[in-house]
Structure 1
Amino acid sequence: MKALRGFPPAPVPLAAAARGAVALAVPLLVGVWTATPVPAVIAGIGALWGVSQDGPDPYRLRVRRLGCMGLWAALGLLAGELALRSGHPAAVTVCLVAVALLAGAISLRGRLASVSGMHLLLGATIGGGIPLPGPWWHAPLALLAGVGLVIVLSGAPWLWRRHAIERSAVLAVYRAASQALSAAGTPAAEDARRRLTAALDHAHQVMGRHLAPRARVRGELDALRGAFHTAVRLGEVTSALVWEGRPLPRHVTEVPLLMAARLLPRPGGAAGSAGPDPVDHAPGRAVFRTDLDSPGLRALAGLSAEAGRARPDEAPVRLPAYPWHGRAAQVRYTVLLAVCVLVAQLCAELLHGPRGYWLPMTVAFVYKPDFGPVFRRALHRCAGTVVGVAAIGAVTLLTTDAYVLIGAVAAFGALMAVGVRHHYALATTGLTAIVLVLVYMLGDHRALYGARILDTALAAAIVLVAHFALWPRSAAERAAAQTEAALAAARRYRDLAPGAAAVQRHALRRAAYHRLAEARRAVAHARGEPGRPDRELADREDAIASAERMCDAVSARTLGAGPVPFPRPVPRRAAAGPVGG
């Protein structure tokens, strides 16, 4: 949710905020105008969950994620609704536990599976906690209608800005390369190089399907693909120049931006030019307007001269697939999630009787170790709930007019869309206020504000006690496994890069830096859990930093740096078993 430390803050996503406001207001307005509040509220819940997954990724991936989320949420809603309609006292509890087991089993298998599993459980909590009139199939269809509205709003810009997301991602690599060159020879150089790696990783994920061997690309997309392949080579050259460790003149640091202006197509057009190039293109070579007194500068000059030309070695470079968690971790998380849902449901029945969905719903939101530190997520959930309750409580003290409440839902929907990209507590504030309005429009006018705060705190406590009593080192174990995989990838790059073909060298380098970045994030995740950071985490951070510097040196040596002082090998640590094993 939050911007990574050292990265510039992301701009406020105004388009996403507008989509969130419209997606949540439209179903409720239709419900008021047609006097059908129940389907409108269920559609609003679907829109609410859709807004929570409306990310900035390419339209195809965005629509796929929203569609999968909607289908799994509707399936969960149907299961919970049928359990509630059965009339058996334990049916809802058994249903929630069974759904939690299924959700946990699929949630740690990747980002899409994680989102689908969470919303499967959320759908079951709503279906089993809110009695819904009408035929059994009305509610799932209404939920899908709300998700469908978000899909239309989120995917519509594809019609007029089809490859704008891919272009922005690739352009960000060239900008990050320019910033890294500007930081060369300063204490900020390593952080700038890490930002370049993050930009390359993001562009690689965004461009992924267009890089497949059988992908048919033409026109603007063909230019984007060529610009990405050049960006991969630019990453190697930039790493070498950063490793050389001396400040570079401005006409050198601007070369990536001028390359981007030549290579990247303008929206709806062809690649353009951006004024004079600091590289004079002589026959067969490129000469900077300065002495080429380093291998890195010679490589940058050559790359700038060749940019835009077809190369036989521009084969697809794939990001390495790495399991999020080991099998033992998946089993443990599945069992713990089911236990937490069972305890939360039993507490809800004791405290509230029917309509006690808030407790298990909060468990489903909070217990997501793959979304960040569980302790921090629980705190942000509690803080966001308190603020959301206070905000909507202030609105309802002034008026309960339906149109005013719908306007408040639109405002909180925009706030939630911003929070999804910036901060979990902010997203929770919007979600809490919206859910309370939706419940009110269903006809439940009980004084729920204090109860919702206590329920959230209780659900967070259930998750924290279960997680840290039975699996206290989950984040540390994952950090160990990720670090070991990253160091192995760095050693492969060190051992194979000097004699490898260009395409294999780029693949090895991308794999090494990508896994090192993942390992660094996993260590930061482990540091976010309670307890004093132990020396083991500090050692891993040192090993990752050493491996990154080693990879920079390999890049410099590969580009012809002659007798480059080669760093001593990254120390091998005790092999870490599967996470959770």
Structure 2
Amino acid sequence: MATEARHSPWVRALVRVTPARIQWERVGLAAVGVTVPVGLSLLIDPRDATVIGAGALASMGALVGSVMDTGAAGAERVRRITLVTAAASIGFALGVLVYGHSVFTLVAVILATLISALSGAIGPVASKAGLYFLVYAVTAANADFGLDPAWQAPLIFLAGGLWRLCLTAVSAALIGVRLSPERRAIAQVYTALAAQLAAQSEAAASTAGLKLTNALDDAYDTLVASRTNITERDIRWQELVTILNASAPAVDAAIAVAAKQVVAPKETITYLRGVAAWIADARHPLPELPVTHSAGAEVVALRMALERVDRAVAQFSAAGSGRAEQLVAPDLPARQTFADLVHRVERPLSAGAETWRFAGRLVLCMAIAQGVSIALHLDRPYLVMLAVAQAMKPDFGSIFARAVQRGFGTMIGVAIAALTISLVPHGGWQILVILPLAALIPIAMPRNFGLFSAIMTSLAVLLVELHAGASAGLVSSRLMDTVLGCAIVLLIGYLPWPATWRAPRNLAKNVAGLARSIAQYAGIALEDQVTDSDAQRAAAARRALYRQIADMRTLVARSLSEPRIADAASAWMLEIAALERVTDAITAAATTQIASSTTVDRQATERAQAALRELADAIEAGRAPQTVEPSGSGPLALMDDEISSARAAASAWSTRNARSRKRVHLRREAGTEQ
């Protein structure tokens, strides 16, 4: 029972299904995009293996586009699919070029592996492009698609990807005419604002605060992604940016209200919900700003913020549509220039030893997978390497978790494919299974990697089966080869490396970095905000810090699925929650300062910053934080209390960790004496 209790947290993390909204438009696009090419080939000639193989290849290309059809803004969706489809097609062409030449194949696989490993340092989309470049380079270099001449295969694959891209472009254009993704994203911000004010308990307020942070991040990402020369001159788009920026003071005030546990007026909550409904759909009535007479600096700040929101909403209501005569510079992160793109491409080459060490690990595992496949005379050696490539992507999550989930997902997927092959008649009836499986891609992808692997494995086996014909050996080899690849990842790419065993220390460094960022934010937020640029700078700092907190939560949550660091990750979750409350207290103090026209003592702010830096040093060193002088009374009193709570959480973990090390030391001494 003790062992079960100790391991159950990481087991639960492995099987946890993350809640996510079903995007029915993406479901339909995936189903149509993947099924139509292979379905047409079966209609043309269900007995011609060449025609069916071409249809299956086109469906594989559409499969890549379906996986990458993410994001809200149509322009961003098109860019993602274009980049990854191009990378996958180039990888496919590289594989076809070296097929049948063992030396060239090895060189090509190593080159593709290095590109895939380094792409993660550029960004998430580039990382996906690098992954699919490697996946299809390995696939094409180790498989014969039965087409003559061979260069037809990558062209057909590219055609399938372009077909899927066209579906997304048409759908995004129809939806984008009404700026629907942008409106929904901003409406979600005001819905989350209302939920933050309506929260009745500390737990509810924490959950609402996290949703508000995520909604803000999504809204800004959506507007930046949709920012083009055309949209910038659209009056409606400019006004949506204004409405989003108008939420910044309201967010600060809502955080202050929640931190001080002040009860927000019900009519204010109703107003915010009405604004959210109107932004999402203009057919809803535009709400009127309620008149409130509640006292208190936090409520006064909230009322002032809502007045700004009301002005922005009224301006948007009267704007109509058309082009702006004069372009107004939106208060959004700047679009990337060509120099920025070059810098991002150069980054992997100078990213440091850790990036190159991971590249070496991946190359080693791929080389071993290639060697094992040759030694065992596997019919489909690429399956082992594909399992290695897809599991060893640390920027997508824990390597351990992805390897385990990939293995179990493959078992489930193979079982589905085996049942389909055994029970569903041939001659095109498999389409009735491929269609719902393709529709499940956007549903399963954000929820659990194991579930996603099961669906992708089923589709891959069925698409190959249509071309190669029914074969029980195909199904069993798919299972055994993938399990072999996952074993290589765990035994060669995960367990022996120092980075695996230093993971708890690295987590502590990340949490310490968050504490130092909060100290910097305190200096920005609590200084006198005289001009609009001061307020914008403080708002930008707040957005960046809350996004960093959300990213830290994601990083630590991924670590919960690893037995080695699950306990440390659970402890750091508590510390991150305490540091988030410190951040809320700083925001509340800054909001109170502005609303009451008071000034926070600079020395008190510096003492608070010093306390946070000492906390960061203690977390990084693995010791209990030292006692520091309180910052003062008034607006900073709550911040002192929350810093004390964060110090207590860090002290509890350091004490627990010291006891654990002592027990290990005593056990080692006892073993030596025996």
TM-score between both structures, scaled by the size of structure 2: 0.76
Q: Secondary structure at the match of 1:90?
A: helix
Equivalent in the alignment of 1:74? 89
The answer to which of 242-251 and 469-478 deviates more is 469-478
1:402 matched to which residue of 2?
427
1:238 Cα deviation from its structure 2 partner: 1.0
Q: State the match for 1:129 in structure 2.
A: 142
Identify the range of structure 1 (70-79 vs 408-417) with the bigger mean alpha-carbon deviation. 408-417
Task: Give the secondary structure class of the aligned counterpart of 2:29.
Answer: helix
Q: 1:18 to 1:152 in 2, by over 3 A?
A: same
Partner of 1:572: 616
Identity, in percent, stands at: 25
Q: CA distance change for structure 1 residues 443 and 261 in 2, over 3 Å: closer, same or farther?
A: closer
In 2, Cα distance between equivalents of 1:365 and 1:45: 16
2:518 partner amino acid: A
Is the aligned partner of 1:113 residue 2:126?
A: yes
Q: Structure 1 counterpart of 2:579, which letter?
A: A
User: How far off is 1:91 after superposition?
Assistant: 2.9
Q: Equivalent residue for 2:41?
A: 31
Q: Which has the higher helix share?
A: 2
Superposed CA deviations along residues 526-570 of structure 1, whole A, max 9, x for unmatched, are 2322225355x4664454333322221222222235699989532
* 8 Å Cα contact 1:75/1:120 also seen in 2: yes
Moved more, 416-425 or 526-535: 526-535
1:554 aligns with 2:605: no
Which one of 505, 514, 517 corresponds to residue 486 of structure 1?
Answer: 514
Alignment of 1:142-161 (within 5 A): 142-161=156-175
> Residue 474 of structure 2 corresponds to which residue in structure 1?
448
Q: How does 1:206-225 map to 2 (within 5 A)?
A: 206-209=222-225, 216-225=232-241
Give the whole-Å Cα distance in 1 for the aligned partners of 2:546 and 2:258: 15
Q: What 5-or-longer segments of structure 2 have no aligned partner?
A: 1-11, 46-50, 316-327, 622-674
Q: Report whether the alignment pairs 1:95 with 2:108.
A: yes
Instruction: Give the AA of the match of 2:162.
Output: G
Q: What residue identity is the alignment partner of 1:169?
A: A
Structure 1 position 230 matched with structure 2 position 246: yes
Q: After the TM superposition, which residues 50-89 of structure 1 pair with which residues of structure 2 at under 5 Å, given as runs?
A: 50-84=65-99, 87-89=100-102
**Counterpart pick for 1:339 among 344, 364, 379:** 364
SS in 2 for 1:12: coil
Q: 2:562 aligns with which of 516, 529, 544?
A: 529
Give the Å deviation of 1:205: 1.2
1:467 equivalent to 2:499? Answer no
Kept in 2, the 8 Å contact 1:81–1:136? The answer is yes
Cα distance in 2, alignment partners of residues 213 and 502 from structure 1: 27
Deviations 1:37-74 (A, max 9, x none): 22212111111222222224311111111111111111
Give the alignment of 1:123-522 within 5 angstroms: 123-132=136-145, 133-162=147-176, 163-209=179-225, 216-261=232-277, 264=279, 266=281, 273-277=285-289, 279-280=290-291, 288=292, 291-309=293-311, 315-316=331-332, 326-443=351-468, 445-446=470-471, 447-465=473-491, 466-470=493-497, 471-473=499-501, 476=504, 479-498=507-526, 499-500=528-529, 501-522=534-555
User: Structure 1, residues 130-185: CA drift from partner, whole Å, max 9, x if none?
Assistant: 11322343112111111112212223222322121111111111111111111155
Larger radius of gyration: 2
Distance, in Å, in 2 between the alignment partners of 1:185 and 1:213 is: 45
Contact between 1:226 and 1:308, CA under 8 Å: does it hold in 2?
no
Shift of 1:314: 7.4
Does the 8 Å CA contact 1:186/1:247 hold for their aligned counterparts? no
Deviation of residue 218 (structure 1)? 2.4
Whole-Å separation in 2 of the counterparts to 1:214 and 1:50: 25
- Report if the CA contact (8 A) 2:113-2:363 is conserved: yes
Separation of aligned partners in 1, 2:14 and 2:257: 24
In structure 2, the residue matched to 1:545 is: 577
**3-state SS of the aligned residue for 2:500?**
coil
Closer/same/farther in 2, CA of residues 47 and 365 from structure 1, 3 Å limit:
same
Check 1:412–1:478 CA distance in 2 against 1; reply closer, same or farther (3 A cut): farther
Between the aligned partners of 2:580 and 2:245, the Cα distance in structure 1 is 21
TM superposition shift of 1:480: 4.3
Greater CA drift, 365-374 or 544-553: 544-553
Change (3 A) 1:147 1:502: same
Contact 1:44 1:146 in 2 (8 A): yes
Kindly tell me: are residues 271 and 331 of structure 1, through their superposed partners in 2, closer, same or farther at Cα, counting changes over 3 Å?
farther
The C-alpha deviation readout for 1:466-488, integer Å capped at 9, x for no partner, is: 22311314754664454344333
- Measure the CA separation in 2 of the matches of 1:130 and 1:299: 65
Distance across 2 between alignment mates of 1:486 and 1:435: 42
Q: Which amino acid aligns with 2:542?
A: R
- The residue type equivalent to 1:112 in the other structure is V
Match of 2:648 in 1: none
Change (3 A) 1:174 1:275: closer
1:283 aligned partner: none
| Larger RCO, structures 1/2 (Cα 8 Å, 6+ apart) | 1
**Distance of 1:494 and 1:213 partners within structure 2:** 37
TM-score by length of 1: 0.87
* Unmatched runs of 5 consecutive residues or more in structure 1: 281-287
In 2, Cα distance between the equivalents of 1:494 and 1:371? 32
Counterpart residue type for residue 40 of structure 1: G
Paired letter, 2:550: A
Q: Could you tell me which amino acid in structure 2 is paired with residue 467 of structure 1?
A: Y
Residues 439/259 of structure 1: CA separation in 2 closer, same or farther (3 Å cut): closer
Equivalent pairs counted in the alignment come to 559
8 Å CA contact 2:400–2:494 kept in 1: the answer is no
Change (3 A) 1:520 1:177: same
Contact 1:317 1:503 in 2 (8 A): no
Distance across 1 between alignment mates of 2:308 and 2:580:
27
SS in 2 for 1:208: helix
Amino acid corresponding to residue 220 of structure 1 in structure 2: R
The Cα shift of 1:353 comes to 3.9
Q: Choose 89-98 or 372-381, whichever is displaced more.
A: 89-98
SS at match of 1:469: coil
1:285 corresponds in structure 2 to none
Superposed displacement of residue 10, structure 1: 2.3
Distance 1:19 1:105 in 2: 31
2:644 is matched with which residue? none
